[in-house]
A and B are shown apart, each in its own frame.
Chain A
Amino acid sequence: MTSTIESAMNARGPSASTATVMPDAAPQAPLAPEGGGKEIGDVILDVKNISLSFGGVNALTDISFDVREHEIRAIIGPNGAGKSSMLNCINGVYTPQKGTITFKGKTFSNMDSYQVASMGIARTFQNLALFKGMSVIDNIMTGRNLRIKSNLFLQALRIGPAEREEIRHREFVEHIIDFLEIQAYRKTAVGQLPYGLQKRVDLGRALAMEPKVLLLDEPMAGMNLEEKQDMSRFVLDINDEFGTTVVLIEHDMGVVMDISDRVVVLDYGRKIGDGTPEQVRNNPDVISAYLGTSH
């Protein structure tokens, strides 16, 4: 496999100006990860030829990659490469000018955030976007909103089915709180929590949606080593126990190499690398993008 990639890259010539779709690392069989025991399934999310621009600025140019079920896919790249914009396109926050996204067999080019959420894609945000006026429990409970069925009138009366449903969802949220180890803070207003804990609440809120695909936008940003270890543990556990497919944007190379199954590299809105962490690490385009040579 490695030699195929290398020879393909050597044949391509100068990268930046003529960058088009990279020939994918083409494993036909499910990958067997080093840890053993994880079955990576078929392609669940397929991004094809996405182009996004704001006014004159091209945020993304012709990006294509796929994400397989149960894998941990990292998106890396220097600042301003368009990683968050990519997630925003998947999420329906931005509408790309060109390209389509296929999720679980359904293709769409123009989705709104609510539809994407109800289809099973959840995300965390780089700048948290938590509901500052509410407690931790309430924040995570908002993630259950899609699954709450009782209507306005039942909720007003709060008897019988409405009360029972609320309790059921509360139980689920408590499991998440236990999982993320934030029990002590459940009734605190999130605005008062330290940054690291707020990030966990953000993660918890996304988890509450029981997503099939979890998009994490720089979950380790601003954390120290211990906090990163905790967060990595959570991400691995989520992937392991719940089988959730994870797409994460991350700057810490150590984390990316350690926990991800496959990596996509973006630079200036274009894809310059796609493959396992090892492959990407040895990709000269990726190296020059990060270290910077004459562009």
Chain B
Amino acid sequence: MAFFLETLLGGLMAGMLYSLVALGFVLIYKASGVFNFAQGAMVLFAALAMARFAEWFPRWTGIQNPVVANVAAFLIAAAIMFVVAWLIERYVLRHLVNQEGTTLLMATLGIGYLLDGVGQTVFGSDIYKIDIGMPKEPIMAFEGLFPGGILINKEDLYAALIAAFLVSLLSLFFQKTATGRALRAVADDHQAAQSIGIPLNRIWVIVWCVAGIVALVAGMIWGSKLGVQFSLITVALRALPVVILGGLTSVPGAIIGGLIIGVGEKLSEVFLGPYVGGGIEIWFAYVLALVFLLFRPQGLFGEKIIDRV
């Protein structure tokens, strides 16, 4: 029982990290109707920027304080993501305004490759460390209830808290602010939003920038856990099923979806895996998404997809 709970909790934590990446997908889709296949590349790019700047900052300025270096690196990386967002809007999105979704999807694939190549050229392609002072030791909780307690990874716990905080911030942003409203209008209908005076271009830069910062936070946490390396891109691919489950247009859906996938992966690996040869983590999320696609394509919380004649 304790083992089951441990696995469950571990899954929840892992799920939280997926949610972070999925959030970026949802944001961009909600506000521009574009599915951003480049989100993974953005996570990697942002993480690389932060890792390298954290390294270079002390060298350039002589300030050895690691907290200062990390904060500075974070800010610089955020600024870089803003520039990236601006470039993407200016040179890609603006030219593809009324194209169909398929074209935009493939364009984001191309952007992903671009970011990947540029990132690794500029920042290097080794494995880098991000050290933001996350505690690495596990704690044993609930020692009273279960003998020996349940193993909880402190790092995962902090990550989950950060993610939860970010999500609430974003939800508030979308629901309560005027910009958030404008973003939702744009997601609904580009041309209609434009015709009532919403500055499409500026909105898109804002959205991609916010998604970039979400990617940065995700990259920071994942990077702290795994090290910043190329495989971060494939992590993003694992977050795709999360948005299918949760619904492409729902921020809470991204969270719940992430938790379900995280738990599902861990539980299925531990309890189902041995019967079928193990290693089913790589496809569990996807097959679950597949089942949803067949029976409920809009996910748990998304809006129904309507096809008009």
Contact = CB atoms under 8 A, between A and B. Distances in A.
Direct contact of A and B (CB under 8 A): yes
Contacts of A93: 309
Contacts of A125: 309
A104 to B, nearest CB: 25
A57 interface: no
Contacts of B309: 88, 93, 125, 129
Interface string A244-282: 000000000000000000000000000000000000000
A93 B307 CA distance: 11
A246 B309 CA distance: 22
Interface residues of B, number: 1
Nearest to A94: B309
Interface residues of A, number: 4
Contacts, number: 4
Describe A's contact surface by its main secondary structure: loop
A88 B309 CA distance: 9
Nearest to B308: A127
A129 B309 CA distance: 8
B293 to A, nearest CB: 22
Interface string A63-102: 0000000000000000000000000100001000000000
Contacts of A129: 309
B11 to A, nearest CB: 39
Interface in B156-174: none
Nearest to A84: B309
A142 B309 CA distance: 18
A251 B309 CA distance: 21
A193 to B, nearest CB: 20
Contacts of A88: 309
A100 B289 CA distance: 39
A206 to B, nearest CB: 15
Interface in B252-309: 309
A129 B308 CA distance: 11
B39 to A, nearest CB: 30
A114 to B, nearest CB: 15
A129 B307 CA distance: 13
A82 to B, nearest CB: 14
A191 to B, nearest CB: 14
Interface string A100-141: 000000000000000000000000010001000000000000
Nearest to A125: B309
A241 B309 CA distance: 31
B197 to A, nearest CB: 27
A125 B308 CA distance: 13
Interface string B203-234: 00000000000000000000000000000000
A125 B309 CA distance: 9
A8 to B, nearest CB: 36
Nearest to A93: B309
B1 to A, nearest CB: 48
Nearest to B309: A93
4 contacts: A88-B309, A93-B309, A125-B309, A129-B309
